[in-house]
Structure 1
């Protein structure tokens, strides 16, 4: 495993955004699982995202790593509040062995909406836009509530392993 990948994993498991940021190339790009509308560019901007992320994600524990050369996929479990999260990270290293590109993917859907609810407003406050942060929180809160409800009450009804009552 390259030194950068080991350092990245250790930093995020320890909740150390600064150490994780040190694994990034100066011109790194971060592709978020929460929006396709923009990307985060550069070590400084991505480290700012990481500062918010380590405040939101608890108990980060990597469980799988695959890759070779300059491309790796890392997978971890964590929590956002009471919601279990599993995240996948596609990492591409640059010629210097630093992280040049990060693409994150997350599951299940309620975890993504909880992440958006916890992370978006926090990041916007850090950017000096607390009013927009409140607006985003207000807009996302119903979506997060609907996905939580659906996951708890509706989705189990479609479980193919659920015992069905057979009427005679």
Structure 2
């Protein structure tokens, strides 16, 4: 089931368009940010974070390098470059039995990448609010 959901996610990323998020996110989705300590619960806040990420991280350097799909779980390794800083990370995604994402966790390395993402995502989130 995760295959269809991840195919839709890839379309959103490729188009750099968050309009389709509502269709693939469960109402009770939980988002785990690499820079925010507490999980963010609900479709509205998750959509906000993912929209900001699509506009910040998803630049001309962004690409998914590896993908592991198993049951309702997916791990997508990505890389990008922000202002000369190479970023390597993973999206860990779980979908419910209806094929909607109910858990989305982002992990990033190295530390200077985490710091750059924190700075740029904070600015983007402020702009989106």
Give the alignment's TM-score, normalised by structure 2.
0.87
Give the root-mean-square deviation of aligned CA atoms.
Answer: 1.7
CA–CA distance in structure 2, aligned partners of residues 113 and 63 of structure 1: 22
State the shift of 1:31 in Å.
Answer: 0.6
> What are structure 2's unaligned runs of at least 5 residues?
none
- Given that residues 21 and 46 in structure 1 are in contact (C-alpha distance below 8 angstroms), is that contact kept between their aligned partners in structure 2? no
Q: How many residues align?
A: 126
Structure (1 or 2) with the greater helix fraction: 1
Structure (1 or 2) with the greater strand fraction: 2
Q: Which runs of 4+ in 1 moved over 4 A?
A: none
> What are structure 1's unaligned runs of at least 5 residues?
128-168
Number of the residue aligned with 2:53: 53
Instruction: Please say if 1:15 is aligned against 2:16.
Output: yes
Q: Which fold has the larger relative contact order, with Cα–Cα distance below 8 Å and residues 6 or more apart in sequence?
A: 2
- Given that residues 18 and 47 in structure 1 are in contact (C-alpha distance below 8 angstroms), is that contact kept between their aligned partners in structure 2? no
State the shift of 1:14 in Å.
Answer: 2.5
Give the alignment's TM-score, normalised by structure 1.
0.68
- Given that residues 34 and 112 in structure 1 are in contact (C-alpha distance below 8 angstroms), is that contact kept between their aligned partners in structure 2? yes
Q: 1:57-72, aligned counterparts within 5 Å?
A: 57=57, 58-59=59-60, 60-72=62-74
